[in-house]
Amino acid sequence: MKVAVLAGGLSAEREVSLRSGRRVSQALRDKGVEVFEVDIDADLLPELRKLNPDVVLPLVHGQIGEDGSLREVLDVAGYKTLGSASAAARIAFEKPIANQIAAAAGVFVPKSIVLPQEAFKSLGAADLLESAISSIGLPMVVKPSHGGSALGASVVQTKSELPGAMVTAFSYGAVVLMQPFITGTEIAVCVLEDKSGIKTLPIVEIVPDHQLYDYDCRYTAGMTEFFVPARISPELTYAANEIAIKMHKALGLKDISRTDLIIDAAGNIWFLEVNINPGQTETSLFPQAIAAAGLDLGDVFLNLLTNLDQ
Amino acid sequence: MEMAENSSGSRLDPWVQAYASRATSMRASEIRALFAVASRPEVVSLAGGMPFVEALDVEMFRSVVNSVITKDAKTALQYGAGQGHVSLRESVLEVMRPTGMSAHPDDIVITAGSQMAIDLIVRVMCNPGDVILVESPSYVGALGVFRAYEADIRHVAMDADGLNPVALQEMIAKVKAEGKKVKLLYTIPSFHNPAGITQPQARRKEIVEIAQREDVLIIEDDPYALLSFDSIIHRPMAADEKERVVYCGSFSKIISAGLRIGWAVAPHALREKLVLANEAASLCPSNFTQLIVDEYLRTQDWLAQVATFRDIYQQRRDALLTALTDYMPPGVSWTVPTGGFYSWLTLPPGFDATAMLPRAVSHLVAYVPGTGFYADGQGRSNLRLSFCYPPPARIVEGVKRLSNVMSEEAELLKTFGVGGN
């Protein structure tokens, strides 16, 4: 089998994507798969035509990689591609819409305010920020509505910190999401889907050194402690797995997804976000879940790639 | 919440408790992640100080490498002396000659780039906590070395003529009042990185006098010495004060950065220690690349190549300055370098160059935020632009993009009432 692994691109998550791409590529090569790593740019389609892969494996983060655009292009060009279809990707990428779907599915979703910069400009930032604080309370999390790796995300403790956090978040994107900062046990549930059905992997519990599981904590080995399986009760484990599967199905995702959740002191499980293209770096959550399940990264991706039914 | 049976956590790093305290700051960062994007050709990178090696004649270089292998492969492929190859040390004298620096080949230690020379000097001179004075701002690579040796880094103000002697004297007095002694003064007198400023001769003299009076050793980092745009080759401090100044030179900017060859000219006793430290660090600098540099210097018109580089960089400097004048919004100021690679921008109140970088990268232009050039968190309202690598048209395009970024940022700051807007 000849596989084109797409990684890189122009988003702020380029480096993460390249690292994921290299790791998965090597894991597949170890299984005897012929792998080509392709950085995505204007030459993507000519490059793919030249390589003529049997399957394309996109590991590109950021807007183009996760909002369905790249998948749309690959579908139009007729490539058999691993992962969620573009329509599902688009919905998952839009956090407010994904939140609505989660809420409609009966999942606890933190109250959130999602606004573009234009709204603050037209309607007056001071009043809007004041209202946001009244509505959501402090501390709150401010982050770009799109994108991952916690880039541009801040925890705001006091009113005076909020404008600066907004500026930081808007530097990464045109729309910002504000949510209450929920303290509790942060977990990630990884989902695999193949012909045998949808299953979850052991839950990863995340204990970062910083208040927020930020970029430093995500990609510096040693700055976060992970517990796999998570130190939660069987009941909570069951419930969290159910939520992840529910979200995978409700959003119409395919092959692979990761749902991030937080369990508060009362044992309520809150939905944070779902990722259709989870990181596969040395410090990422998905490979840890795969290892804890007694599986091998190369075997998992090889199985997904060989069972694609497009 | 009921807990399941405890399992032990993993930090994905078995050595996490074992690292030296100096490794604490070695971690992933959003800024580094953004620089990964800057390497893409779609991005106009005004960030990295990469020499324009495309101006070298590759065929000529191939012949130089072939000649080294043909003439003396046995030496080129073998270990060498910790002080560096004597033939290259002789050639270094010729390279320094235009600056007014004279020395004996035995005064010179060849290193893996001048970065290694700085590392060796600090390794030999500084204990953790020793005070090193640096300009405000200072070269990020040197700050990294000083941090690695756990030095106490103090920034000294600059003015239009570079390091300010009054501020220097005041800082030394302040350090003394704390019961400490200044161990080193690190300075880049010509075409400063990142400030783009050059110290006039009188200023250099003043600084050396202060160093003598206060018994401070100066590290004079001079990698851009020959890349002057106004025909003035500035005389190094070390040319007149060899016992007080360790001079660091480099071939990275005048031949090739990939060769990793630099040198230090040091007082006798210190030089002996630098040689031993060099041996401890790497046994010896690469014989292969030393012989390539030496062969190049002895057989090619290297001064003509320097002139070619200089003309290219001058055109690019001019393009940058014109574009800045044409496109930068009011309130932005910048230095006018008379050589080297860099101009230093000061943004209007409220702007934060670090926070603005993601927006810049999404507009396909990159710069280095000023905070990288400080050890103490200063520099948020500054950024460094490098004009050495992109051709003039790309520089203009980059500045246009930066201007758009700043307009959007101004709008954002105004909306949220941040800073002086």
CB B143 within 8 A of CB B153: yes
Tell me which amino acid residue A178 is. Answer: M
Q: What pLDDT score does A309 carry?
A: 65
Q: Does A152 touch chain B (CB under 8 A)?
A: yes
CATH of domain B28-49+304-416: 3.90.1150.10
- Cα separation, B251 vs B51, in Å, equals 11
Q: Is A91-108+183-306 a domain of CATH 1.10.3470.10? A: no
B411 contact residues in A (CB cutoff 8 A): 117, 121
CB atoms A223 and B27 under 8 Å: yes
pTM, 2 dp: 0.92
Q: What is the pLDDT of residues B252-307, one digit of tens each?
A: 999 999 999 999 999 999 999 999 999 999 999 999 999 999 999 999 999 999 99
**CATH 3.90.1150.10: which residues of chain B?**
28-49+304-416
Average pLDDT, chain A: 94
Instruction: Say which of A125, A168, A222 has its CB closest to residue B11.
Output: A222
Q: Which ipTM was obtained for this model?
A: 0.89
With a CB cutoff of 8 Å and minimum separation 6, the contacts of A202 are A228, A229, A230, A289, A292, A293
Structure tokens, B395: 């520089």
CATH of domain B68-300: 3.40.640.10
Residue A157 pLDDT greater than 70, yes or no: yes
**CATH 3.40.640.10: which residues of chain B?**
68-300
Q: Is residue A78 exposed (0-12), middle (13-18) or buried (19+ Cβ within 10 Å)?
A: exposed
Q: What is the pLDDT of residues B144-193, one digit of tens each?
A: 999 999 999 999 999 999 999 999 999 999 999 999 999 999 999 999 99
CB atoms A228 and B364 under 8 Å: no
Mutation target to probe the A interface, by most A beta carbons within 10 A, among B359, B405, B416, B418 is B416
**Domain A113-180, architecture per CATH:** 2-Layer Sandwich (3.30)
pLDDT-based confidence at residue B4 (cuts at 50, 70, 90): very low
- Cα separation, A107 vs A249, in Å, equals 13
- Cα separation, B137 vs B155, in Å, equals 7
* Cis peptide bond N-terminal to A139, omega within 30: yes
CB atoms B415 and A282 under 8 Å: no
Q: What is the pLDDT of residues B53-111, one digit of tens each?
A: 999 999 999 999 999 999 999 999 999 999 999 999 999 999 999 999 999 999 999 99
Q: Is A2-83 a domain of CATH 3.40.50.20? A: yes
- Where do the domains of chain A lie? 2-83, 91-108+183-306, 113-180
- Cα separation, A289 vs A243, in Å, equals 17
Phi, psi values for residue B52, rounded to 5°: -85, 75
pLDDT-based confidence at residue B7 (cuts at 50, 70, 90): low
Q: What is the pLDDT of residues B330-375, one digit of tens each?
A: 999 999 999 999 999 999 999 999 999 999 999 999 999 999 999 9
**Min Cα separation A164/chain B (Å):** 7
- Cα separation, A41 vs B40, in Å, equals 9
For every residue of A185-222, DSSP letters joined together read: EEEEEEEEEETTEEEEPPPEEEEESSSS--HHHHHSTT
- Please check whether the two domains, A2-83 and A113-180, share a CATH topology: no
- Please report, to the nearest 10 degrees, the dihedral formed by the alpha carbons of residues B416, B417, B418, B421 taken in order: 130
B351 contact residues in A (CB cutoff 8 A): none
Q: Does A10 touch chain B (CB under 8 A)?
A: yes
